[in-house]
Amino acid sequence: MKMQTGEFAKLASVSVRTLHYYDEIGLLKPAFVDEQNGYRFYDETSLERMQEILFYRELDFKLKSIAEILSSPDYDKQKALAEQRKLLILKKERLERIIDALDGAEKGKITMSAFDNSDYETARTQYEIEAKRRWGETTAYKEYEQKSINQSVNDGLMTVLAKFAECMKDGHAAASEEAQALVKELQNYISDNYYNCTDEILAGLGQMYVADVRFKNNIDQHTSGTAAFISEAIAAYCKK
């Protein structure tokens, strides 16, 4: 079975942008890439790997931890699945308690203990620590960790984004030479500090900056309308 990125993304219920990011950080590489056109292809092994990633994501594991665990040559999938099942049962039991509390609330009953999540969190933390101890610290993970984002890098990104706000306030259009130079600076900064930011990925980021409320609000803290300005500037840049 061979699938292109879009087909695989739909089957896995994730975005194409997510797959590109997983590829960049080494969490999920395509089965192969066509050297002539650069198209990524995935197979059944890729699907199996994605399922493992999604199990961990469902259990609130960070990508950093997932990469550390799955990259180990000693990774025991069956043991991991057994532990994940225990954790998911704890999670399910909590949801059932909350549903029961909701039913009780409709009758005027107050039940606060239903929201206690300590059993799940304790078990999840213990499993994460044990999984890292057993399977972590591999060469592949260390390569991944080198790409981990720290606060200073995030601050630098926000500085670049703030320049767009100043550019907009100075009256420059999104397609202007000044704004386009900032788009190039943004693309280079992301490539140097996060992952290889191709024009395709950059275009996706431009759309996300206005589509995702969290990103939009964070960027617009500089000046209202900055996110839309950046999105328009990126769109103009990627059309060249």
Mean pLDDT of 38-49: 91
Helix (H, G, I), strand (E, B) or coil at 146: coil
Express as a percent the part of the chain with pLDDT over 70: 90
Residue 196 pLDDT level (bands cut at 50, 70, 90): confident
Which CATH code of 1.10.1660.10, 1.10.10.10, 3.40.50.300, 3.90.1640.30 fits the domain covering 3-51? 1.10.1660.10
Query: Radius of gyration (Cα) for the chain, nearest Å?
Result: 22
Residue 234 pLDDT level (bands cut at 50, 70, 90): very high
Between 240 and 155, the higher pLDDT residue: 155
Q: How far apart are CA 180 and CA 60, in angstroms?
A: 38
- Maximum separation of any 2 CA atoms in the chain, in Å: 66
Mean pLDDT of 53-61: 88
* 16-20, 23-27, 69-73: range with lowest mean pLDDT: 69-73
> Residue ranges of the alpha helices (H) in 33-117?
44-58, 63-70, 77-105
Residue 200 pLDDT level (bands cut at 50, 70, 90): confident
Alpha-carbon distance values, 35 to 2, 29, 45, 197, 211 (Å): 16, 15, 21, 19, 32
* 3-17, 146-160, 185-199: range with lowest mean pLDDT: 146-160
Residue 236 pLDDT level (bands cut at 50, 70, 90): very high
Query: Left (φ > 0), alpha (ψ -120 to 50) or beta: where does 209 sit?
Result: alpha
Residue 181 pLDDT level (bands cut at 50, 70, 90): very high
Question: Under CATH, which architecture does the 151-238 domain have?
Answer: Orthogonal Bundle (1.10)
Mean pLDDT estimate for the chain: 84
Sketch the domain layout of the chain as residue ranges: 3-51, 59-146, 151-238
Mean pLDDT of 100-126: 83
Place of tokens 């950046």: 230
Which tens digit of pLDDT belongs to each residue from 121-180?
777 777 777 776 666 554 544 554 555 445 567 778 889 999 999 999 999 999 999 999
Q: Do domains 3-51 and 151-238 have the same CATH topology?
A: no
* Residue 73 confidence (pLDDT) above 90: no
